[in-house]
A = this chain, B = another copy of it.
Amino acid sequence: MKKNRPEIPRKAIYRLSIYLRCLQRLKGNALRTVSSEALARAAGVKPTQLRKDLAYFGQFGTRGLGYDVEQLSRLITDLLGTNSLQPVLLVGAGNLGRALLAYRGFEPEGFEITAVFDADARQLKNISGRPALPMGRLADYVREHGVRMAILAVPAAAAQEVANSLTAAGVTGLLNFAPVVLEVPDDVTVNNVNLAIELENLSYFIQQ
């Protein structure tokens, strides 16, 4: 499949997610079509940017009529692969891992944390509602359940080793909260989120 896809900038994929949320709001307001100008405005981008982003995936919209809200939503959902609920593992049941479990804001978006792993058995004790397993079970679980995505909420010193286990078992998408740059095979995608680092980065800019 890789070869048939054009090389799309990572930022364009992020914008698809933004467009999808705007379309969902329009659907909620019972709108059936939207002009590229109106959709671009709702998403906070220029209309040329919107048209360019969508053009990576083909021709959409009808001149003078705009986009069909339902159709474009479905198309973006298909592109993002979120048309069915995707299982995601959580590795690390410390403060951050627990906060992510409590959040649950992933679920309406098509992702479900199906199991939690931690090297420390004590961290696993009061997790309810889904399997809480020791690290030794990780590789088997990934293989048995065909899991492709995992969230890493482990300390920096453990992150690379956990990433190695996950990718060796077949995980190809990592959402990494540890403040390290992970080395992964070429077919694996890592998205990094570090909340303290985001604040530090802001802190630099507000001094200017």
Q: Show the binding face of A for B, using Cβ within 8 Å.
A: 1-2, 5, 10, 13-14, 16-18, 20-21, 25, 43-45, 79-82, 86, 88, 95-96, 98-100, 102-106, 108-111, 148-149, 156-157, 172-175, 179-183, 187, 189, 191, 193-208
Contacts and interface: CB of A to CB of B under 8 A. Distances in A.
A102 B195 CA distance: 13
B201 A21 contact: no
Given A81-B203, A149-B202, A181 B100 contact: no
Contacts of A205: 13, 172-173, 189
A49 B102 CA distance: 38
Given A1-B208, A79-B204, A18 B183 contact: no
B105 A95 contact: yes
B197 A17 contact: yes
Nearest to A78: B207
